[in-house]
Amino acid sequence: MPADQVRDLADIAALECLAEELGDILGPGDVVLLEGPIGVGKTRLVSAFVAALGSTDQVTSPTYTLMHVYETPSLPVLHLDAYRLSGVAEYLDLGAGDFAHDSITMVEWGDRVADAHPEHLGLVLEFGRSGETSRRCTIRRRGRSWPLPDTP
Ligand SMILES: Nc1ncnc2c1ncn2[C@@H]1O[C@H](COP(=O)(O)OP(=O)(O)OP(=O)(O)O)[C@@H](O)[C@H]1O
Ligand SMILES: [Mg+2]
């Protein structure tokens, strides 16, 4: 298993850089599981990612709607939230799997449905210690090799 990478993000611009980097390496069928406490920036990261792929769609939290689909010039992004789900069975019932092979899937509270995705990129966000906008992101590569550049 490759070593986890840790990125210290000073502000939203740094989060957007990470999103652009992900935009370069992710392709159809890829799954990103986002973890981290309420308000840490999971939705913000999906928003930055969708923008990095060239979409002007406004990204909103799928906590209550459970699944959003954003069209981008390259491929759709499925945005899900497992916070209110009872488990993997209910998650699979949402039907994202039907479109996932042509899309990139991003799941907030994704650790709750990791069993459904043996191959995934895990992004664990934490609040940073150097100011209100600072965050730390631990990147876990699971199930296959993910072409992530070495930490700068
Ligand atoms: N470096 C940063 N990265 C991400 N968000 C940041 C950063 N600095 C400040 N923020 C702000 O933090 C908030 C993050 O909210 P967001 O809805 O993305 O959190 P969340 O993790 O999705 O929460 P929830 O668990 O409720 O879904 C936003 O208002 C965003 O502007
Ligand atoms: Mg959110």
Residue ranges and CATH numbers for the domains of the chain are: 10-131 (3.40.50.300)
The pLDDT, as a whole number, for residue 29 is: 96
Arithmetic mean of pLDDT, 115-124: 96
For ligand 1, atom 28, the nearest C-alpha belongs to 41
Spacing, Cα 64 to ligand 2 middle (Å): 10
Report yes or no on whether pTM surpasses 0.85: yes
Q: Which of 44, 66, 134, when mutated, tests ligand 1's pocket best, judged by the most ligand atoms within 8 Å of its CB?
A: 44
The pLDDT, as a whole number, for residue 151 is: 66
> In whole angstroms, what is the distance from residue 71 CA to residue 143 CA?
27
**53, containing H or E segment:** none
> In whole angstroms, what is the distance from residue 128 CA to residue 108 CA?
19
The pLDDT, as a whole number, for residue 152 is: 55
Residue 148: band (very low, low, confident or very high) from pLDDT cuts 50, 70, 90: confident
Question: Each residue of 31-80: pLDDT tens digit?
Answer: 999 999 999 999 999 999 999 999 999 999 988 778 899 999 999 999 99
For ligand 1, atom 12, the nearest C-alpha belongs to 41
Regarding the beta carbon of 138 and ligand 1, being less than 6 Å apart is answered no
> In whole angstroms, what is the distance from residue 3 CA to residue 60 CA?
32
